[in-house]
Amino acid sequence: MSEIMARAKYAVVERADYSDIICEQCGSGERPGELLLCDKCDKGFHMRCLRPIVVRIPIGSWLCPKCSGHRRKRIIDFFKIQKSGDGKKKCNLNQDTRKRRRRPLVLLKKRRRLLPFIPSEDPNQRLKQMGTLASALTAMQMEFSDDLTYSSDMAPRSANQAKFENGGMQVLSREDMETLELCRSMSRRGECPPFIVVFDSCEGYTVEADAQIKDMTFIAEYTGDVDYIKNRENDDCDSMMTLLLATNPSESLVICPDKCGNIARFINGINNHTLEGKKKQNCKCVRYSVNGECRVLLVATRDIAKGERLYYDYNGYEHEYPTHHFV
């Protein structure tokens, strides 16, 4: 039997009676409606005793933390992390950054440049950070995507052209492009930005800084499926982001992170009807033309302390999103 349990993907010997099931974490059998049974070892776990907390009953099979295999490999596979010898390239990029800082202060004051995020040095800490995001995406039945995605039944990539923007769109500078590419390459290597996704009973999933973040630091690109606004007029997705406001309204685009996305999906909005709500804002979304395509970048607007939650104004471009009920 032990060999079968070790080799089979799910091999459970069904019990005749499950009334004696207890939570392996807290040792209690109370709240049986919240007990999840592992499809491999058949042991019970309260949804709120698991870390991270499971907020919805999983659809299909579910494995407990012990039976879910090697956690590091699962995280690497989930985020499709690439192994590469970019150490030399990383060093050169850092040297370039230091060279740019030697320019006169007068030039630096003309335009504030994006700063790359600084990943946690401890690989285990980065693994923990990515694990919280993977758990949140899985709970929302989403796949991870760090780029915009296009589907045949939505808007084609050819529709995403910054030249269609009504009034024009600001172009991401060469220096900021280098910062964006550096952050992308770090993410592909598993050197993720220092954030964790936590679950709050009032706010739902939300994002916390796991290290100090400096003002003007690049946080993430807002990603998901690209679709025409006209196709989403009756959509109940609460996380759609404006991508393109075209001169012809029928050509306007939105980003829809309901099937795929990244950590930007879980950054909450402020209540911009109250002073206290406005004070919470510590990042903003900015639309740029990047190689001729529209992109939405999330950037820190002030220094963010470790443990502080991230918030931005959902109505940065249009004052149509109702935020009066936000905490």
Break the chain into its structural domains and give their ranges: 20-71, 123-312
Q: Return the CA Rg of the chain.
A: 22
- Three-state SS for 204? strand
Q: How far apart are CA 184 and CA 146, in angstroms?
A: 9
Q: Which CATH superfamily is domain 20-71 in?
A: Zinc/RING finger domain, C3HC4 (zinc finger) (3.30.40.10)
Query: b/e map of 155-164 (b: 16 or more CB within 10 Å)?
Result: beeebbbbeb
Please state the pTM of the whole predicted model: 0.70
Contact 157, 229 (CB under 8 A): no
- What is the distance of C-alpha 76 from the center of its chain? 16
Please give the Cα distance from 83 to 190 (Å, whole number): 9
The tens place of each residue's pLDDT in the chain, 327 residues long, gives 445 444 444 444 555 567 788 999 999 988 888 899 888 888 899 988 887 778 778 777 788 877 765 566 777 778 878 765 544 444 444 444 444 444 444 444 456 799 999 999 999 999 999 999 999 999 999 999 999 999 999 999 999 999 999 999 999 999 999 999 999 999 999 999 999 999 998 889 999 999 999 999 999 999 999 999 999 888 766 688 999 999 999 999 999 999 999 999 999 988 676 777 778 899 999 999 999 999 999 999 999 999 999 999 876 544 454 444 454
For the sheet with 241-244, list strands across it: 225-228, 253-256, 241-244
Per the structure block, which two tokens stand in for 88? Answer: 């030399």
The CA distance from 210 to 308, in Å, is 8
Identical fold, 20-71 and 123-312? no
**Confidence at residue 234, expressed as pLDDT on a 0 to 100 scale:** 80
User: Does domain 123-312 match CATH 2.170.270.10?
Assistant: yes
